[in-house]
Structure 1
Amino acid sequence: MKAFTEMTGKVVPLDAINVDTDAILPKQFLKRIERTGFGEFLFYDWRYENGKEVQEFVLNQDMYRDGTILLTGKNFGCGSSREHAPWALTDFGIRVIIAPSFADIFYNNAFKNGLLPIVLEEGEVGNLFRHGEDIPGYRLTIDLVHQTVSDDRGFHCHFSVEPYRKELLLKGLDEIDSTLVNQEIIDSFEKNHRIHYRLKS
């Protein structure tokens, strides 16, 4: 995974609550076995109608096609536990999602796939939506090291993240990679364990 320390990106305002994983990536695309190439199908049923782009949908607007920070409502990622949902978001180019709350399984899957979900109070999220309406191409800076969200107009707040998950993102490691960091210790244990087993036999 790509390491995450600090980034400044354009905010994509998706003003909706209870966005479920079937909306994020519809079920007809789950047959694919690759972990890449899902970005074109992100929010497919909202982005397209009869194969044509729905111009009113935020991701189809030129201003937001290169957005990297998704701003949305509470309970984002509810529904089924499909890991394909964060795959689609990251493949599209989203690195951060800001919401008042997330579904637990989606929240966990996001971290495992290099996506940073940030929980802010509803009032703070509302302020960000208003800034996005007033400022074309509104951008935020996300500092994972200091756990802050800020803009160049005075907005500044802190967010919480578990230290273990923070460390993995900062180093660009998934859970398997974090285990392999200790490969020498694992190999030594297995070698000694095999010797001990043969002696007992």
Structure 2
Amino acid sequence: MEPINIFNGKTVPLLNDNIDTDQIIPKAFLKRISKTGFGPFLFDEWRYLEDGSENPDFNLNKPEYKGASILISGDNFGCGSSREHAAWALKDFGFFIIIAGSFSDIFYMNCTKNGMLPIQIENKTDRESIAQHSNITIDLPKQEIITPEAKYHFDIDSTWKNKLVNGLDDIAITLTYEDKITEYEKTHN
């Protein structure tokens, strides 16, 4: 995983509440066997019109939001089924950070395990203020969202913070014990 320390990115607001995993990545697109290739289907029913063309009214299709890497959303983001594909689709599209009022527990974990930073900002007014800025900075070590006008503190479990700051997934953490594992295997054969 790529470490996340100080992250500068372009934002896109999608301030709806209760965006579920089937809206994030519809079940019709879950046939892939790898973690990549889901980005084109992200928010498929909202991004595209019936004729397959882009919906010009959907924020991800608007020119001012192209290339956004920070999604700002409402409460209960990632609710619904536990499909990890939702996190894969968001990351494949180019999102590294999702700011929401709250998250489904499973979706939150799927994000962190895939090198994405979910940030919970419960105050809707704060989220709306953050969304007014096209570019913001996330300082994960200081746990701050920085806009030109204000700083917003966020909480994150210290274990997940350590993993994201250092770019460690479960395999990388296991490999830090490689010498001990090798030694154990030598004595237990």
TM-score range relative to shorter protein = over 0.9
2:175 maps to 1:180: yes
Q: CA deviation at 1:34?
A: 1.5
Moved over 3 A (4+): 130-133
Question: Residue 143 of structure 2 is aligned with which of 127, 143, 147?
Answer: 147
Q: CA deviation at 1:95?
A: 0.7
Structure with greater proportional helix content = 1
1:1-201 equivalence runs, <5 A: 1-50=1-50, 51-122=52-123, 125-130=124-129, 132-133=131-132, 138-153=134-149, 155-194=150-189
Q: Distance in 2 between matches of 1:127 and 1:168?
A: 27
Deviations 1:99-152 (A, max 9, x none): 111000000110000110001122xx423424544x5xx221100111111111
Q: How many residues align?
A: 188
Q: CA deviation at 1:189?
A: 1.2
Q: CA RMSD in A?
A: 1.3
The amino acid of 1:126's aligned partner reads: T
Q: CA deviation at 1:90?
A: 0.7
Instruction: With the length of structure 2 as denominator, give the TM-score of the two structures.
Output: 0.95
The unaligned stretches of length 5 or more in structure 2 are none
Instruction: With the length of structure 1 as denominator, give the TM-score of the two structures.
Output: 0.89
Give me the identity figure in percent. 48
The amino acid of 2:109's aligned partner reads: N
The unaligned stretches of length 5 or more in structure 1 are 195-201
Larger Rg: 1
Q: Distance in 1 between matches of 2:174 and 2:129?
A: 43
